[in-house]
């Protein structure tokens, strides 16, 4: 059966107090909207439609960037959730199958939950609503369930009476139904309510009028979490991180202090890798198995291979690709560079736009001078090369295989294989100079005090 997911993302998000459209605020380094889009694609939806409105262009750009096949429909005036869904009517006029309504501000709905809803529909329900129980104070719509277990009505908080407000079973907003039926049912929806909006929740009333069976499927309160403010955003981050840490540990990653490690939504780590305290992963990082990431390392856009050792206090930026058993030690920054198998950058270095060969040793304080103020240039360091401490490698430049540089050199010319590159002023020793020099300085000081 073909399936389509419509993600409502047109709302203002006033309570975020932000210039950024609500659905573009990030949890785990990814816009909220992308979390919902991932749910749709992991579920296996054949098509995803994003309904934009507030900040439409910006929202559409992010959605298309994630998945170029995304269809965007615009809701120029936000007249309610049913009105938002109705904007997809034309796009779906030739579509026959199952529809899910998700939300750009409700990021944690699991693909398995959509499967559960789909199953209820296959078992005979015409409209399936996702609900959750909560004991907190809130303003969610309430799900009214009949004695036979079917869903009777959804009452919005603003329109609910005191008795209805005591109900703990709430509407997540997520709905599953048949595409043709969806547009038939929302055609009947009116806006005679406290907000004068076309409520999607009234789809249950329309279905009941046609004697169609509606049911609610339950998920956890966290899964249904909707984000309306920056307080909600921080709570969502907390929930995500707790979930991801658990997932990582269950897959065999060792986290010594889980609460201090932060992951991006797309972080992938192999089993038996050990992550020490206070490590942060930005987007697009993969770590193979049996690596060791020591404390206070900051890693984004990097690939770390088997057995590599990173940190403490290392910074890996986008394009850092570390081969097996390589090492990047304390206070080293690596950007857009390949580090060969067994190669070591152990102390206080900047390596950018560089290709380092296997088993090369990069001495303390080595800097690749990759930027001339206008363009970036490449540094190449051969296999088994030995870079002396405090070398500046002024790119573009190549250090050959098995070659070395003398400490403190500023290398501006290529060094052939197995040669030594030395570029510093020669040393001269002046015998007895230090003793005579300080004698003279002290004499001057005494004379100044005497006023001579
Ligand atoms: C909605 C539900 C409520 C449910 C709650 C769960 C309705 C009428 N109410 O209320 O029962 O408990 O979600 O979080 O559906 N949107 C548009 N266009 C519009 C209006 C809204 O795209 O014209 C989008 C918003 O961007 C948002 C979502 O729909 O992503 C929900 O809208 P919102 O106004 O936040 O509805 P709630 O009051 O939270
Ligand atoms: Ca909401």
- Alpha-carbon distance of 369 to 350, in angstroms, equals 9
Radius of gyration from C-alpha coordinates of the chain: 31
Regions of the chain with pLDDT less than 70: none
Q: Mind listing the pLDDT tens digit for each residue in 370-401? A: 999 999 999 999 999 999 999 999 999 999 99
Pocket test for ligand 1, best of 32, 52, 77, 103 (most atoms within 8 A of CB): 103
Cα–ligand 1 centroid distance for 59 (angstroms): 17
Question: Is 202 touching ligand 1 by the criterion CB < 6 Å?
Answer: no
Provide the 3-class DSSP secondary structure of residue 269: strand
Residues 6+ apart with CB under 8 A from 336: 317, 318, 319, 320, 352, 353
- Ligand 1 lined by 36 (C-beta under 6 Å): no
3-219 fold: Spore Coat Polysaccharide Biosynthesis Protein SpsA; Chain A (3.90.550)
pLDDT at 350: 98
Q: Which ligand is nearest to the CA of 173?
A: 1
Report residue 317 CA to chain centroid gap: 15
What residues act catalytically? 347
pLDDT digits (tens, 9 = 90+) for 93-139: 999 999 999 999 999 999 999 999 999 999 999 999 999 999 998 99
Class of domain 230-421: mainly beta
Asked if residue 79 has its Cβ within 6 Å of ligand 1, the reply is: yes
From the list 348, 408, 419, 347, the residue with the least C-alpha distance to 382 is 419
What is each CA distance from 221 to 6, 16, 138, 204, 247, in whole angstroms? 22, 21, 12, 22, 19
Contact between 263 and 244 (Cβ < 8 Å): yes
Residue 216: CB within 6 Å of ligand 1? no
3-state secondary structure of 205: helix
Ligand 1 atom closest to residue 77's alpha carbon, by position in its atom list: 23
What's the rounded Cα separation, in Å, for the pair 142 and 64?
34
Distance CA 114, CA 130 (A): 9
- Ligand 1 center–CA 112 separation, angstroms: 23
Closest residue by Cα to residue 92 from 54, 55, 124, 45: 45
By the 10 Å C-beta count (0-12 exposed, 13-18 middle, 19+ buried), 447 is classed as exposed
Kindly list the distances between the CA atom of residue 415 and the CA atoms of 339, 404, 412, in Å, as whole numbers in the listed order. Answer: 19, 8, 9
Spatial distance between the Cα atoms of 51 and 333, rounded to a whole number of angstroms = 41
Ligand 1 in reach of 100 Cβ (< 6 A)? no
**Tokens representing residue 176 in the block:** 């599953």
Which residues have CB atoms below 5 A from the ion given as ligand 2?
A: 226
Whether 327 and 311 have beta carbons less than 8 Å apart is answered as no
- Give the nearest ligand 1 atom to 78 CA: 23
- The residue assigned the tokens 């609910």 is 160
Element housing 434 (H / E): helix 433-449
DSSP secondary structure code for residue 210 in this structure: T
429's tokens:
């020793």
For residue 12, the model assigns a pLDDT of 85
Q: Other CB atoms closer than 10 Å to residue 189's CB: what's the count?
A: 22
Is residue 256 within 8 Å of residue 274, measured between CB atoms? yes
pLDDT at 212: 98
Query: CA angle 86-38-179, nearest 5°?
Result: 30
Domain positions in the chain: 3-219, 230-421
Distance of alpha carbon 289 from alpha carbon 145, whole angstroms? 49
| Protein residue closest via CA to atom 3 of ligand 1 | 141
Residue 312 preceded by cis peptide, ω within 30: yes
With the most atoms of ligand 1 within 8 angstroms of its CB, the residue from 5, 6, 11, 154 to mutate is: 11
Q: Are the beta carbons of 137 and 103 closer than 8 angstroms?
A: no
Q: Is the CB of 201 under 6 A from ligand 1?
A: yes
- SS3 (DSSP) at 231: helix
Cα 258 to averaged position of ligand 1 atoms, centre (Å): 34
């Amino acid at each position: 059966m073909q399936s389509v997911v419509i993600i409502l993302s047109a709302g203002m998000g006033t309570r975020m107090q932000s210039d950024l459209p609500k659905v573009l605020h990030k949890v785990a380094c990814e816009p909220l909207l992308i979390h919902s889009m991932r749910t749709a694609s992991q579920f296996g939806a054949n098509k995803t439609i994003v309904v934009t409105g507030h900040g439409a262009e910006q929202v559409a750009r992010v959605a298309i960037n994630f998945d170029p096949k995304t269809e965007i429909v615009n809701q120029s005036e936000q007249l309610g959730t049913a009105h938002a869904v109705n904007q997809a009517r034309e796009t779906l006029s030739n579509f026959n199958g199952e529809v899910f309504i998700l939300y750009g501000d409700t990021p944690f709905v699991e693909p398995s939950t959509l499967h559960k809803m789909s199953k209820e529909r296959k078992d005979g329900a015409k409209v399936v609503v996702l609900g959750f129980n909560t004991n907190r104070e809130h303003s969610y719509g309430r799900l009214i369930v009949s004695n036979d277990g079917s869903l009777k009505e959804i009452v919005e908080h603003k329109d609910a009476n005191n008795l209805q407000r005591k109900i703990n079973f709430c509407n997540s907003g997520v709905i599953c139904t048949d595409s043709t039926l969806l547009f038939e049912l929302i055609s009947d929806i009116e806006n005679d309510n406290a907000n004068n909006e076309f409520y999607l929740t009234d789809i249950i009333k329309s279905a009941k009028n046609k004697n169609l069976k509606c049911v609610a499927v339950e998920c956890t309160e966290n899964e249904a979490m909707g984000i309306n403010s920056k307080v909600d955003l921080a709570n969502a981050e907390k929930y995500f991180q707790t979930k991801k840490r658990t997932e990582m540990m269950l897959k065999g990653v060792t986290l010594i202090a889980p609460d201090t490690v932060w992951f991006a939504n797309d972080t992938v780590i192999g089993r038996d890798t050990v992550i020490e305290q206070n490590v942060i992963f930005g987007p697009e990082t993969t770590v193979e198995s049996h690596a060791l990431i020591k404390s206070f390392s900051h890693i984004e856009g990097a690939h770390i291979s088997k057995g590599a050792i990173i940190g403490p206090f290392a910074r890996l930026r986008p394009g850092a690709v570390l081969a097996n058993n390589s090492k990047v030690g304390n206070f080293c920054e690596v950007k857009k560079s390949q580090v060969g198998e067994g190669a070591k950058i152990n102390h206080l270095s900047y390596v950018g736009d560089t290709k380092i060969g296997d088993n090369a040793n990069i001495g303390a304080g080595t800097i690749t001078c990759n930027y001339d103020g206008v363009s970036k240039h490449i540094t190449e360091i051969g296999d088994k090369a030995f870079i002396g401490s405090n070398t500046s490698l002024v790119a573009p430049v190549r250090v050959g295989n098995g070659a070395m540089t003398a400490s403190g050199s500023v290398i501006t010319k290529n060094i052939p294989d197995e040669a030594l590159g030395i570029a510093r002023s020669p040393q001269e020793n002046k015998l007895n100079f230090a003793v005579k020099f300080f004698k003279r300085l002290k004499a001057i000081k005494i004379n100044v005090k005497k006023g001579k």
